Each structure stands twice: as C-alpha cells, then as structure tokens.
Structure 1
Amino acid sequence: MEDDPECGPIIDDIAIKKLVTPDQPKDNAVVNSGFEFGPWMFQNVSLGVLLPTNLDEETSPLPGWMVESTRAVRYIDSNHYAVPEGKRAVELVSGKEGIISQMVETKPDKLYSLTFSLGHAGDKCKEPLAVMAFAGNQAQNFHYTPDSNSTFQVASVNFTAKAERTRIAFYSVYYNTRTDDMSSLCGPVVDDVRVWYSWASRNEVQVLLGLGLSFWAYLLVLV
C-alpha cells in the first residue's frame, strides 16, 4: 500500500497561528482555564482539532496545558459542539490514553479546591460519560449526570498542596463512541478549570479577621 502512487493522505487548508499565553487571573491558579487560547479553528470544519500526543508546555498548541498521553484529545468550538463556557473546550476522546494536565502554582500545606465543568459535546456520544480528575495526591471520578435544563455540570475536588507546584490532570474513564456509527471516538467535555483556596481556608481567614476586629473593639472599650 505504501508503494501505491494512487493512494495516500490528503492535506488541505493549512494555517499557522501565533500562540499567546494569557495572563493568569488573580483568583485562579490555572492558566488558560477556559481553553480559549489554542490552535486555529477553521470555521467550515466541524470535526474540531486533534491535539497530538506527548506535548509538554513548550510544544503544546494549548497554552498552559500538556497532552501527556499516547492518544490525542479533541479541541472543540461552540459553533459545532456544546461548550459549557465561552467558545472553546476540550473533549477527551481516548479514554485513559488521552490525558491533559497542568502544573499550577500553590502554597505548601494550603487547602485548595479544583473545580471544572463536565459536559456532553452534543455529538451523539454514547453514555455513560465520566472523567477522572487529579489534583495533587487526590483523584476522583465524576459521572456526567446533568439536570434536564443543562448540558454540563460543575464538579470539584479538594486537596492540600504539598509543594509550590501541583499537578492537575483529566482523562476519560470510558472509551466512548458515537451512537450513529458506533466507531467514531468521542467523550466527555472539560471546560472552565479553576484552582483556588477552598472555602474552608477562606472561612479560617474570616474567623481570624473576626477575632482581630473583636480584639481591637475590646481595646477601644477599655480606652
């Protein structure tokens, strides 16, 4: 087959895009948390963009993220798929072999919360859909079970940081295919990924502030 001059791959519609790493928001440790910055998307192509395997931060077309797997993941847009937030998201189409990850800045021994939107791309993907989410030494799987008025749900994992950088990662628990042909790979959608101080930590801060204010009020009364 390789020697047959009448067959082979077809290449068309080539684009080169300059990638820009977005600024990190103050209330979120995740860079490019909504996947809005990524490779060029052709408006007339409804298949999304497959992100190649084994891509580190330097070579990944998805700024901030790594594709540390043996199979690709799909970069999708809201023009052709159901996207939880904004215009872009990632569909995990290769089961446990399609992993996206990022090293986020954290403070050791601080309690954090990883939250993300888990959705269905609206591409006739056969359920069940589920994601395994990793945050530091914590791992938890989440099944896609939204209510009737939504195509996505919000999931969260609490973890205690052990170092100044913590790995977060996602992969699909199942190997899913579309119901219309039972062969095209598909999977759950991940979007709007956030890492922040957990509510427990915030409550501790509020308690300390309250105690401090009470102390100063007591001193004023004595004066």
Structure 2
Amino acid sequence: MATGRRCGRRAALVVLLVCAAAARAVSAVGDGPLLNGNFEYPPNQSQMSGSSVTGEDAIPYWKTAGAVEYIGSGQQQGDMVLTVPEGAHALRLGGGASVRQQLSVTRGAYYSITFRASRTCAQDEKLSLEVVPVTGYPAQTSELPIQTVYTSCGWDSYSWAFKAEAGIVSFTIRHPHEEEEDPACGPIIDAIAIKTIYQPQPTQNNLLANGDFEEGPYIPPDSRSGVMVPPVDEDHVSPLPGWMIMSYKKVVKYVDAAHFAVPRGVRAVELVSGVETALVQEVHATVEGSWYRLEFSVGDAANGCGASSDYSPSPGMKVKASAGSGETTVGVDFRGAGGCTRGRLEFQATTSPTRVVFVSLGYHTKSDNSGTLCGPLVDDVSLVAIAQPSARRLLL
C-alpha cells in the first residue's frame, strides 16, 4: 500500500511539473525536438471536448487557435484510419487553425524546422509557417505544399528555415483557410524539431557554398525516408544553405548515410520530382568570360529505385547539369543497389553570377510497387577556376 501511494504521488508530481513547465512563456532552443514537439504530453482535459481542442492552452508548451484536434493513432475519420507519423498522438489542423510556440534563439543565427505531415483528404493541402520576432521585426512566412505524398507510409518529413531577427520569436504552423475546403479535412502534423544551420562560405578550392551538402535541416534519427526540402525563392532562407529549390509545388529530398548510399560524407540530395524541380546555386565569384570546371557525383541511393514511373524505355537514372555556356548529362544504372558516377563539365561563364543547375531527367518509383517516389542522388559538387581549355579539349 505504501509503495502504491508513493507511485501515485510521483505521478501527480510529474503532471504538476509538466503543467508548470508548459506555463513558461519561452522555450529555450537546442538541436532536436521542440518541447512536446511530438504532442505526447497529454492535453488539459478541461479544455477539450472529445478530440477537439477548446482552449488555447490545452496542449502543453503550445498555444492553439481555430479547429484543432488531438488525434490518436488508429483514430477513424469516416472509413479512413488517420495516420499518426510518430508515437501515439498528433494534431490535426482544420481550415484556418494554427499551433504556436515561443522560442528563445540567438539573434542573427539561422534555424531549420523539421516536422512530419500527412494529409487527410484529397485536397490541394498546404501549410503556412511563420516566425514573428517579439520586438516588432517583419514576420517571415512561407507556404509549403503537401499535396504530393512521396512515401508509401502516408506522411512525409518537411523542412523550413528562418533567420532569427530577435532573441525571442513566435513560431507558428497554420493551415490556411480555403473557402471550398471540406471542414472535416485538414493535415496532421507531428514530430516538430529545430536545428541551427550554419552558412558555409565559398573558398578558392570550391566556389560553391555547401557543395558537399553536409549542412542542412535536422534529420530525425529514425527517419528512413529523409526530409523534404520544398521550393525556396530568392527572398527566403533555404534549409539547405547555399542552394535554392526551384519548382512550383515539388521538392527534393535531403538524405543521410545512415539510411541511404551517400556518395561521399554523410549527407546528399535525392532528386525525387523529375524535371519539375531544379537544384540551383548562384555563384557570385565567377567572372564573365572566364573558364571553370564543375565536378559532381550522381548516385544510386540503394533504396530500390529501379522503376520508371513515366514508362520510359531507357534504363537507369539521368541528371542534367548546366552552368554558364555548357551542360552535360550523367547517368547511373545500378538498379537500386547503390553506386555512383562522377560527372565533369568545363564551361565559360556567360554572366556573373553564374547559375549552377541540376535536374533529374526522369520520374522514378521504388521497384517494390509501394509507389514511393525516388530519384538519383547529387553529391560532392565542386567548382574551380581553370585556364582556357585548348582547342583540342574544346573539340572533345
């Protein structure tokens, strides 16, 4: 009996400590999950009605607004079983709903947010991510398309980045309201994490920044599917420092050596969206009229990427690289078993800055019939100045 009482007191103390911590206005940030980023701390039942959140402080460490639901694994919506990306619980955001947490960050530093999301209806769903400094600087906002499902499990990990313009910021994920949207629909979000991302600088040995892709968004240790890097325009911070993702709604995938056959180092980029997405960097150190050598690796991720989703008769995967006055195509045909090929392009800069562009020339899925989208890897990219090639080399 005495042991039972001690256990009961301990459990009550844990609940009180969680509630007290959740009441703090600001959460200190370190690389990894945000406080209650997986939503496993239970909500305040006095601010709940079934699975619906009725009070803004119901979810520990978070503030909610609008139609937010606390979803359990296996919960049904009509004939559909809802997918929880991690653990036993997640949040579903109805039209116009949002979830927010204040973060203590380092002013001037860059951060990447990683989170998991799954859609619950066949609508053109998207999420809006926003960081607002408490000192009145302009908000940083981007919309992330999540309509395409890239993996067979029903959810994907996404990344987004921002520059901290103040020491305390308010981070919000919002599901934008759409007039035509079914009010019973809304994306599920889970496993929200943060990472400080450093900004590698070009050197004389490599005029590209982050050409090895070693700096990028947080990849959860259990993430066997990598992290999606969505389209980034020139005015926003990229989760992949130095690089932009040029597309309308598609992404590239950031992968690690723990789960993929990375050509070099521990990180690489998988081109999973065919010709609809380009991986781009603008190189400001080039001089118009001068000559340069671009070298890079095209790899097979050893993830069973052996099928062509566009019924192309040509085997293998191909990446086109272009820069300045030149372009080249490099293929790999390892049938999903790993391996890489080194590509090389010598070109003359026609403008300054020079755009270096990589694009996959095909659409591919895993050969296990799961429907998981995949593609060739790009890694270990370098750009150096060279003397003007001889006439013989130009002919070659």
Q: What is the distance in 2 between the residues matched to 1:57 and 1:86?
A: 29
Q: Residues of 2 paired with 1:41 and 1:145: CA distance?
A: 27
| 3-state SS of 1:193 partner | strand
Stretches of structure 2 that go unaligned for 5 or more consecutive residues are: 1-120, 122-180, 307-314, 391-396
In the alignment, structure 1 residue 165 sits paired with structure 2 residue 343: no
Provide the C-alpha distance between the structure 1 equivalents of 2:266 and 2:215, rounded to a whole number of angstroms. Answer: 10
Counterpart AA for 1:168: V
Partner of 1:99: 278
The one-letter amino acid paired with 2:289 is: D
* Residue of structure 1 equivalent to 2:252: 73
Q: Is the 8 A contact 1:56 1:66 kept in 2?
A: yes
Q: Report the TM-score, using the length of structure 1 for normalisation.
A: 0.82
Are the equivalent residues in 2 in contact too, given 1:55–1:67 (CA < 8 A)?
yes
Partner of 2:275, secondary structure, is helix
Shift of 1:142: 1.3
1:31 pairs with 2:209: yes
Amino acid at match of 1:16: I
Which of 122, 125, 128 is the matching residue for 2:305?
125
Measure the CA separation in 1 of the matches of 2:255 and 2:388.
Answer: 35
On the 8 A contact 2:300/2:338 being kept in 1, the answer is no
Shift of residue 143 of structure 1? 1.2
Amino acid at match of 2:236: E
Distance 1:53 1:150 in 2: 27
Q: 1:89 aligns with which of 268, 271, 277?
A: 268
Query: Residue 293 of structure 2 aligns to which amino acid in structure 1?
Result: S
Moved over 3 A (4+): 1-5, 200-203
Q: CA 1:76/1:158 → structure 2, altered by over 3 Å: closer, same or farther? A: same
TM-score normalised by length of structure 2 = 0.47
Residue 57 (structure 1) shift: 6.4
The structural deviation recorded for 1:32 is 0.3
Q: Which has the higher helix share?
A: 1
Q: Which runs of 5+ in 1 are unaligned?
A: 204-223
Partner in structure 2 of residue 46 of structure 1: 224
Change (3 A) 1:26 1:101: same
| Distance in 2 (alpha carbons) for counterparts of 1:49 and 1:196 | 30
Amino acid at match of 1:29: L
**Partner residue of 2:322?**
134
1:111 Cα offset (Å): 1.2
Match of 2:187 in 1: 9
Q: Residue type matched to 1:172 in 2?
A: S
Does the aligned pair in 2 maintain the 1:66–1:100 contact within 8 Å? yes
SS of residue paired to 2:195: coil
* Alpha carbons 2:321, 2:328 under 8 Å: kept: yes
Provide the C-alpha distance between the structure 2 equivalents of 1:160 and 1:31, rounded to a whole number of angstroms: 20
Structure 1 residue 150: deviation in Å?
A: 7.1
Residue 22 of structure 1, CA deviation: 1.1
Give the superposition deviation at 1:25. 2.5
d(CA) in 1 for partners of 2:369, 2:338:
25
Does the alignment pair 1:60 with 2:247? no
- Quickly say closer, same or farther: Cα 1:76–1:57, change in 2 above 3 A: farther
Name which of 296, 305, 327 aligns with 1:116.
296
Distance in 1, matches of 2:382 and 2:276, equals 23
Shift of 1:109: 1.6
Preserved CA contact (<8 Å) 2:330 2:341: no
Code of the residue aligned with 1:151 in structure 2: it is: G
In structure 1, C-alpha distance between the alignment counterparts of 2:363 and 2:241, rounded to whole Å: 26
Cα deviation 1:182-206 (Å, max 9, x = unaligned)? 52110000001111123x5499xxx
User: With CA pairs under 8 Å and 6+ residues apart, which has the higher RCO, 1 or 2?
Assistant: 1
Give the conservation status (yes or no) of the 8 Å contact 1:29–1:194.
yes
**How far did 1:92 drift?**
0.3
| Residues 56 and 65 in structure 1, CA contact (< 8 A), matched pair in contact too | no
Q: How many residues align?
A: 199
Q: Is the 8 A contact 1:128 1:144 kept in 2?
A: yes
